[in-house]
Amino acid sequence: MSPAPAQAPLSPPLKDAQGRTMTYLRLSVTDRCNFRCTYCSPASWGGKKDLLSPEEFERIVSVFAAMGIRRVRLTGGEPLIRPDILEVARRIAAVPGIGHVAITTNASHLARLAGPLREAGVSQLNISLDTLSEATFRRISKQGDLASVLAGIDAAAAAGYASLKLNVVVMRGVNDDEVPQLIAHAHARGMTPRFIELMPFGQGTPVPTAELVEKLRAGGLPLVEDEGPQGLAAGPARYWRAPGGLVGFISPLTQNFCGGCNRVRVASNGDLRSCLGGRAQAPLHALIRGGATDEELALAIRQALGDKPEGHRFTEPGAAAALLPMMGIGG
């Protein structure tokens, strides 16, 4: 029997070392931010100097799309501080094979950009809001303006997006007592709130999801586990139903979701990172600027994913010391 022919580099599926199929690209367009939250961006982080251009982002996404990537999320840093973010979004949304473009943002520029981003082809916004309190906002981020964030959220709610999610990183003794108010704020605007266990990239103490769910129930919120089409295919969140809508919980520490990982991450300078919880990378930017063909880029991508670990290992002793800051990875 003759051996099976080798897979063409640019043909789907795109699999990692564990046999998981990659369909989702998280693409950081900048590692700079106008907020510098304590759990994400340490004061010592200076940022990368050599960011990719819109044309280079489009080239990378085109190669990934040929290999089976169908969803792209633009992240940061804060992606909306790029003056060319609308061009980046338009180019990526127009790549053949890409059916879904999303952006994760702190909403500080959404009052101006919510409508234009939707017109550029963005179908989903994930908005970070950790508190409704000005004092707590200043505790988490000494920069930025809470009023501009709240105005941006309202602009997004009025812009007609197919999906809006409100992401909250829950920190013990900081904002864990605000969870009911944040749920109400999101549901009143047609958004799905999602509460994220703090990961070991910066300061703060996490609150386990199970504890948070029980606290909400004890406080009178009737949460019921959702039996609908949520789950790994929709991302790492697990959803519960409340009177106002869905409530999501993302639990990287206590309910590891690595077994269903379908994500590849590319940093703002073109470094491919096979896993959020590590430093291994492949310099796609150097290959592009060195004249690499699409096939050569695809081979480098497959080789990097061949080193992707089974899980993130966040809970292992000393893990935090081996991690880059969250804003240096792209979330």
Residues placed in the known binding site for [4Fe-4S] cluster? 33, 37, 40, 258, 261, 275
Calpha distance 76→33 (Å, rounded): 7
Angle between helices 209-218 and 179-187 (to 10 degrees): 80
The β-bridge partners of 238 are 249
Q: How far from the centroid of its chain's Cα atoms is residue 159's Cα?
A: 21
User: Taking a C-beta distance cutoff of 8 angstroms, is the pair 68, 305 a contact?
Assistant: no
Calpha distance 237→193 (Å, rounded): 11
Cis peptide before 231 (omega within 30 of 0): no
Annotated binding site: 26, 33, 37, 39-40, 73, 77, 104, 128, 165, 199, 258, 261, 263-265, 275
Q: Quick one: which of 93, 56, 96 has its CA closest to 74?
A: 93
Annotated binding site for S-adenosyl-L-methionine: 39, 77, 128, 199
Amino acid residing at 85: I
Transcribe 167-188 into DSSP letters. Answer: EEEEBTTTTGGGHHHHHHHHHT
Calpha distance 278→149 (Å, rounded): 31
User: Taking a C-beta distance cutoff of 8 angstroms, is the pair 30, 52 a contact?
Assistant: no
- Sequence-distant (6+) residues with CB within 8 A of 135 are none
Calpha distance 254→257 (Å, rounded): 9
**Half-sphere exposure in the Cβ direction for 121 (13 Å, CA):** 20
Annotated binding site for GTP: 26, 73, 104, 165, 263-265
